[in-house]
Homo-oligomer: A and B are copies of this chain.
């Protein structure tokens, strides 16, 4: 199983044949089939273990977060999520490629994170988030998307504090904005953030999304 992980990481899914796995594990192919019912089962077990590891890392961090104020908690939560995905990013990506799309164990982690996020949001009615489930899910998927793609394409960047800050801004910004949105009709009275955004240096039309032009 660790053998499987190594092969998947180093050489990709195609290389993870039962023979290769057995060889790297240092056992005979026959032994492999005494412990696993087949290739799929091996990978499923590996995915399960991977998800459990990620969940463990996240859970450990959650314990420390409970006692923090939100502005301090979110940054550390983001750091925790980064750590989660650092458990084994390559494997994580390959598993996402390899697992059948339905009933994937990997989704468990996202579900877990989304559930926690929703619960946290719901426990703070002051945030005035109308649909905590949607908010939790959105934030989870958004952060997950950033982290997984970053790890796949620019692994070094994962340690960049600016990235972590961006994630914090993503989450806190969303919570602020989504909360406002519930309180006041955006169309009628633009909220704080909206107000901030509306006036650029260049007047009304300067506020438009001018693609391709440099800073006005």
Other A-B contacts than A119-B211, A177-B193, 10 sampled, CB-CB below 8 A, are: A69-B209, A71-B190, A71-B194, A93-B101, A122-B214, A124-B197, A126-B213, A126-B214, A138-B167, A176-B176
Closest to A165 in B: B181
Assembly CA distance A142 to B148 (angstroms): 10
- Does A201 touch B at the CB level, under 8 Å? yes
Top-9 shortest CB links A-B: A145-B145, A124-B212, A126-B200, A176-B193, A124-B211, A173-B173, A173-B177, A142-B142, A192-B192
Closest to A196 in B: B176
A198 to B175, CA, bound (A): 11
Q: Does A178 contact B (CB under 8 A)?
A: yes
Q: Is the CB of B144 within 8 A of A197?
A: no
Q: How far is the CA of A77 from the CA of B211 in the complex (A)?
A: 12
Are B193 and A173 in touch, CB under 8 angstroms?
A: yes
The answer for the CA separation of A139 and B170 in the assembled complex, in Å, is 8
Q: How large is the interface on A (under 10, 10 to 19, 20 to 34, 35 or more residues)?
A: 35 or more
Contact for A134 among B148, B163, B176, CB less than 8 A:
B163
Q: Which residue from chain B places its CB closest to the CB of A187 in the assembled complex?
A: B71
> By the criterion CB–CB under 8 Å, are A12 and B101 in contact?
yes
Query: Knowing A66-B211, A145-B144, A215-B125 touch, does A178 contact B173 (C-beta < 8 A)?
Result: yes
- A-B contacts, 12 of them at CB < 8 A, read A66-B208, A69-B209, A120-B209, A123-B210, A124-B200, A124-B213, A124-B215, A126-B202, A126-B207, A141-B149, A142-B170, A169-B174
Assess the B193–A123 pair: CB atoms within 8 A: no
CB distance from A186 to the nearest CB of B (A): 8
Q: Does A121 contact B (CB under 8 A)?
A: yes
CB distance from A205 to the nearest CB of B (A): 8
* Contact present for B144 and A200 (CB under 8 Å): no
Given contacts A68-B209, A142-B170, A143-B142, contact A125 B200 (CB under 8 A): yes
CB-based contact A206/B69 at 8 Å: yes
Residue in B closest to A160 when the chains form the complex, CB atoms: B134
